[in-house]
Amino acid sequence: MYNKEMNDATITKLASKQREIMAKCNEQYKKAIPEFEAALTFKPDDNSTLQSLRRLYLLVGDEAKAAEITAKLNKGK
């Protein structure tokens, strides 16, 4: 099955599939953000949570929020 799909694949089909997968990933990233924000209410200076949240913001394209988190991380050093 894999070989047949790959034999029939074109750049356009592969790019379309990649966009579909990335859209699903972004949905999950956006769902995770409030969970990490909630975790910060309990432990606001947790580096691991801050780093994960920063990464999620970058993955969804929210550079402003990522910069805020970066500032918090740098402040704690």
Q: How far is CA 56 from CA 18, 41, 48, 61, in A?
A: 19, 17, 12, 9
Give 10-residue mean pLDDT values along the chain (77 residues).
68 88 95 96 94 96 96 84
C-alpha to C-alpha distance for 42 and 44, rounded to whole angstroms: 6
Residue 77 has a pLDDT of: 65
Residue 74 has a pLDDT of: 92
Residue 11 has a pLDDT of: 85
Residue 3 has a pLDDT of: 67
Long-range contacts of 19-28 (CB under 8 A, 24+ apart): 25/59, 26/59, 26/60
Find out whether 33 and 53 touch, Cβ atoms under 8 Å: yes
Residue 58 has a pLDDT of: 96
